[in-house]
Amino acid sequence: MNFSELENNIDALVASWLPQRAERMARQALDPADFAAMADAGMTLTGVHRDFGGLWDPAIRPERIIARLLRKLATADPSLALVTAMHPTVLLNWINDADGPPEWADQRAFVFEQVRGGAWFGTISSEPGAGGDFLATRAAALPGADGSGWVMTGDKYMGSGSGVTSFMMTTARGEGADLPGIFLLDMRGLPWDGSRGLKLVREWDGAGMAATQSHAFRFDNVPIIPHALGEAAVKRLPGNSTIVGCMFTSVFLGILDAASDEARRLLAGRSERLSAFEKTRWMEACNAVWLANQAFDGMARALEKDDPVADILHGKLAVADLSEKALEHFCHAIGGGSLSRSSPFAQWQHDIKALGHLRPPRPLTYEKLLEAELE
C-alpha cells in the first residue's frame, strides 16, 4: 500500500460517513466498526515504519499527508479523528531510532506486527495535578511480584480511545529514577472492574469531543512493558511533541472545513437578505479560517527546522483561538438556528474548545512558550 491508495480509501469512508454526521455528532461513544473499517483501509499503517511494511517513510516527510487525512476524517466525525490522530503519534516512540540493543529490535518488531494485524494504539498519560506534563507523572513503576516484568500503580485520565485501542502508551516513574519511563499497556481483554488491577473511575462525559471515550482509571499493579530504549525514549518526547501538535491541530482545520461548508450552504439561500451584521460576521469568520490555515502551514513548515518547538506552540495557540472565533462568527451570521440540537454548530464549538486544551494543555503551552521566548 502507498499513501495515494490510503487517501482514496479514506475519501471513500468519509463520503460514506458524511450523511451520518448528525447522528455521529450526537454520539457519546466510539463505534469499533469504524476503527475496523479504517484498519482495513490502511490507516493503522501510518504508524509503522516502511522497513516493517508500513507507510511511515522519513524521507518523504509523511506528517503533512497524515495530517491531511485526519483533517478529512474530522469533517465527518471529530471525535473519531482525534482518537485516530493518537495512533501514529504514539507510535513515533517506536518508529524512530532504528539502532539499539537486541531487545529494542525485538520490541519494534512486536509493536509493528501488532499494528499490521489491525491493532490501534493510544495513550493514557495525563494525571490529576500534573497539568498535562507527561514528565510530571506520580504513577509508580515497580518490579512485578514474581521478580519478572513491571507493574504500575497510580491514577490516569484522558485515556482517549479506551475500548477500541489494543495498547496504550503511558509514563510512570521507577523508585529513585531521575526521569520517568515510557511504558506500554496491553489493554486486550483487560477488565475494567478492578479484578485484575484496572478500575474504571469515571467515564468520559465531556461536552466537547464527546465520543472519544477519554475515561479515567485507577491502576493497581497492572502489568506494563518498559520501552526498550529506556531514558533515551523519554528524551525524545519533546521532539515528538512537535509532530503531535501538528496532527492534533489538523483536527481543528477539519472542523473548520465542515463548518465553513455548512455555513455557506445555509447562508447561500438568503444572501440577498443578510443584514450588515450577518455579512460582517460571515466575513470575520472567513478571515479567521484563512488565518488558521496560514498558521497551520507555518507549523508544517516549521517541522523542517532544527528547533520547531516555539513555532509549533505558537501555531497551535493561534489555530485554537482563531477556530473559536470563527465558530462564534459563523453562529452569529447564521442566527439562533445554529443553537438547535439538529444543527452541528453548537457541538463544533464544544469540540473546538476541547481541542484547545489538548497536547499540550493551554497552561503548559504558555509555560513552554515563555521558556522558549526568554532563552
* Mean pLDDT to the nearest integer, 164-170: 98
Q: How far is 321 from 342, CA to CA, in rounded Å?
A: 25
Single residue among 189, 212, 230 that ends a domain in this structure: 230
Q: Tell me which residue range forms the domain holding 175.
A: 122-230
194-221 pLDDT tens trace: 999 999 999 999 999 999 999 999 999 9
pLDDT above 90: percentage of residues in the chain? 84
Partners of residue 129 on adjacent β-strands: none
Residue 98 clears pLDDT 80, i.e. is over it: no
Residue 99 clears pLDDT 80, i.e. is over it: yes
Q: How far is 127 from 256, CA to CA, in rounded Å?
A: 30
- Secondary structure of residue 215 in the 3-state scheme: strand
Do 244 and 365 share a structural domain?
yes
Do 321 and 214 share a structural domain?
no
* Mean pLDDT to the nearest integer, 96-109: 89
Confidence of residue 134 (pLDDT cuts 50, 70, 90): confident
Phi-psi region of 300 (alpha: psi -120 to 50; beta: other; left: phi over 0): alpha
Do 52 and 157 share a structural domain?
no
- Secondary structure of residue 50 in the 3-state scheme: helix
Q: How far is 243 from 303, CA to CA, in rounded Å?
A: 7
Do 278 and 179 share a structural domain?
no
Do 126 and 103 share a structural domain?
no
Do 297 and 356 share a structural domain?
yes
Cβ-based neighbours of 164, under 8 Å, separated by 6 or more: 30, 32, 35, 83, 120, 213
Amino acid at 189: G
Do 75 and 164 share a structural domain?
no
**Cα Rg, the chain, nearest whole Å:** 21
* Mean pLDDT to the nearest integer, 300-317: 93
Single residue among 63, 93, 119 that ends a domain in this structure: 119
Do 269 and 354 share a structural domain?
yes
For all residues of the chain together, what is the average pLDDT? 94
Distance of CA 215 to the CA centre of its chain: 15
Confirm if 292 and 250 have CB atoms less than 8 A apart: no
The grid coordinates listed for 184 are 506500554
Better-scored residue on pLDDT, 203 or 375: 203
Do 155 and 207 share a structural domain?
yes
Q: How far is 272 from 303, CA to CA, in rounded Å?
A: 44
Residue 339 clears pLDDT 90, i.e. is over it: no
58-94 pLDDT tens trace: 999 999 999 999 999 999 999 999 999 999 999 999 9
Confidence of residue 269 (pLDDT cuts 50, 70, 90): confident
What interhelical angle do 362-373 and 309-334 show, nearest 10?
130
Spell out the SS3 assignment of 232-270: HHHCCHHHHHHHHHHHHHHHHHHHHHHHHHHHHHHHHCC
17-37 pLDDT tens trace: 999 999 999 999 999 999 999
Q: Label residue 260 exposed, middle or buried (CB < 10 Å: 0-12, 13-18, 19+).
A: middle
Do 328 and 247 share a structural domain?
yes
Single residue among 175, 205, 230 that ends a domain in this structure: 230
Q: Kindly give the pairing relationship between strand 150-159 and strand 140-143.
A: antiparallel
CATH code for the domain in which residue 29 is found: 1.10.540.10
pLDDT given at position 271:
82
Number of domains, the chain: 3
Confidence of residue 334 (pLDDT cuts 50, 70, 90): very high
CATH code for the domain in which residue 254 is found: 1.20.140.10
**pTM, to two decimals:** 0.96
What interhelical angle do 345-356 and 237-268 show, nearest 10?
160
Confidence of residue 132 (pLDDT cuts 50, 70, 90): confident
Do 241 and 219 share a structural domain?
no
Do 247 and 155 share a structural domain?
no
Residue 147 clears pLDDT 80, i.e. is over it: no
Better-scored residue on pLDDT, 348 or 96: 348
pLDDT given at position 238:
84
Confidence of residue 158 (pLDDT cuts 50, 70, 90): very high
CATH code for the domain in which residue 200 is found: 2.40.110.10
For CA atoms 173, 174, 176, 177, the dihedral sign is negative
* Mean pLDDT to the nearest integer, 119-144: 92
Confidence of residue 358 (pLDDT cuts 50, 70, 90): confident
